[in-house]
Amino acid sequence: MSTTFLPCGEYHQSYNEDHAWWQTKFIKCKMVLMMLVLFIGIPYVSDSYWLSVCNQIGYTVLGALGVQLLIGFCGQVTLGHAAFIAVGAYTSTLLILEFPWPKFLLDLGLAYPISILIAAIVAGIWSVLFGLPSAKVKGFYLILTTMAAQFITVDFVITQYISQIGGRGQAFSLPPGTIKIGPWVINSDLKVYYMMLVLVILLTALVVNLLRSRVGRAWVAIRDNDISAEVMGINVVQYKLMAFFVAGFIGGVAGAFWISNLAAISPEHFPWFWSLWLVGVILIGGVGSIHGTIFGSIFMVVVMELLQMAVIPLASSYPKLLMDFLFIKEAAFGLAICAFMIFEPNGLAYRWWQAKNYFNLWPFSY
């Protein structure tokens, strides 16, 4: 189970040691250092622009985590995850805007956190609803039903019905000051950044812990061969639906988190493109790896930002280019997916693993 390299002569003496997250002092130091960099280093050195890039990365991680859980660990391919993110975002927004919150909750700043939780649960249930066909179909057919989830949820239910609630027209805008956690009003990139960091760490920990439990092992068994899993006594349908619930839950949190960064939410924020983008992120990062989710998110967001930076100087000579950047981005994304699938199907996480192994085993690299 354990993939950590230990120094010579050190052995695990109990299961708890074997399953521990941070097994050596070196790793502990490394993780503490990483936390310091994340919580203090990055906000200290980066300006508002780079913080917003970090927030974008965090949002992508949150969204892709659910996709990774479904595709990478449970083998249920989903091409409609943006629908569940949208459900989370809209539930949270509607709760904040329309629900008659008691005064003391508003004063304590609990309205938004509670709405995040409810949004996540609603998104999870919605996800289970569209996961139900997985009891009967799999592979390509399941892809089609998740696509249907996207079109039905975003293009029909949300656009035609949910958006009409309250007569605000297409976009829901949140008045400033409504998004408040405890005493802090989330109104700057820095605050969004800290919130993102806490959520990403919490949810990553949740997923990693689930994966080391009985539930996670059942998911992996279903991914590897669902018939064998059933023969071994795993209730396949129940565990698949559980995977859909957890994935939807995470998606809901992602959506509810992202409204803090958007001035107004509308169905255009959750297009089919975004679902495919999330799948592309985990494919580029590496399927079946939590590291991969994070690497993929960083890679995609940063590469797109760099692409944009490269386009801006060119734009002075070709003004059309700036307007067409969205299309270039789409085409580049498509090519990146194709290239990764053809030349590096294991993703960035595999490269990371190779590099780590090289240094761990050095100088005897065999």
Residue 40 burial by Cβ neighbours in a 10 Å radius (0-12, 13-18, 19+): exposed
Helices (H), the chain: 15-19, 25-36, 42-45, 48-67, 81-98, 103-108, 111-131, 140-150, 189-211, 214-224, 226-231, 236-258, 272-285, 290-315, 319-323, 325-343, 347-361
Strands 184-185 and 180-181: antiparallel
Q: 345: cis peptide before it, omega within 30°?
A: no
State which residue, 205 or 326, has the beta carbon closest to other proteins: 326
> How far apart are the C-alpha atoms of 305 and 173, rounded to whole Å?
26
State which residue, 327 or 358, has the beta carbon closest to other proteins: 327
State which residue, 120 or 337, has the beta carbon closest to other proteins: 337
Q: Which stretch binds other proteins (CB under 8 A): 112-120, 263-271, 308-316, 338-346?
A: 338-346
State which residue, 102 or 345, has the beta carbon closest to other proteins: 345
Q: Is 169 in the site for other proteins (CB under 8 A)?
A: no
Contacts of 150 (CB under 8 A, 6+ apart): 79, 80, 82, 83, 272, 275
Q: Using the rule CB under 8 A, which residue among 2, 170, 213, 228 binds other proteins?
A: 228
Q: Is 318 in the site for other proteins (CB under 8 A)?
A: no
Identity of the residue numbered 185: V
Centroid of chain to Cα 68: 8
> How far apart are the C-alpha atoms of 51 and 21, rounded to whole Å?
29
State which residue, 23 or 146, has the beta carbon closest to other proteins: 146
Q: Which helix (H) or strand (E) holds 184?
A: strand 184-185
State which residue, 137 or 306, has the beta carbon closest to other proteins: 137
Token digits for 266?
A: 């509308």
> How far apart are the C-alpha atoms of 5 and 24, rounded to whole Å?
9
Q: Using the rule CB under 8 A, which residue among 217, 336, 350, 353 binds other proteins?
A: 336
Q: Which stretch binds other proteins (CB under 8 A): 9-17, 19-27, 62-70, 221-229?
A: 221-229
> How far apart are the C-alpha atoms of 256 and 95, rounded to whole Å?
11
Q: How far is the CB of 341 from other proteins (least distance, A)?
A: 5
Q: Which stretch binds other proteins (CB under 8 A): 45-53, 240-248, 294-302, 337-345?
A: 337-345
* 276 to 305: interface string for other proteins, x by CB under 8 A: x--xx--x---x------------------
> How far apart are the C-alpha atoms of 50 and 42, rounded to whole Å?
9
Q: Is 324 in the site for other proteins (CB under 8 A)?
A: yes
Q: Give the footprint of other proteins on residues 146-165 (CB under 8 A).
A: 147-149, 151-152, 155-156, 159-160
* 101 to 130: interface string for other proteins, x by CB under 8 A: -----------------------------x
Q: Which stretch binds other proteins (CB under 8 A): 27-35, 145-153, 189-197, 355-363?
A: 145-153
Q: How far is the CB of 49 from other proteins (least distance, A)?
A: 25
Residue 345 burial by Cβ neighbours in a 10 Å radius (0-12, 13-18, 19+): exposed
| Positions that interact with other proteins (CB under 8 A) | 71, 77, 79, 130, 132-133, 136-137, 139-141, 143-145, 147-149, 151-152, 155-156, 159-160, 225, 227-228, 231, 273, 276, 279-280, 283, 287, 324, 326-338, 341-342, 345
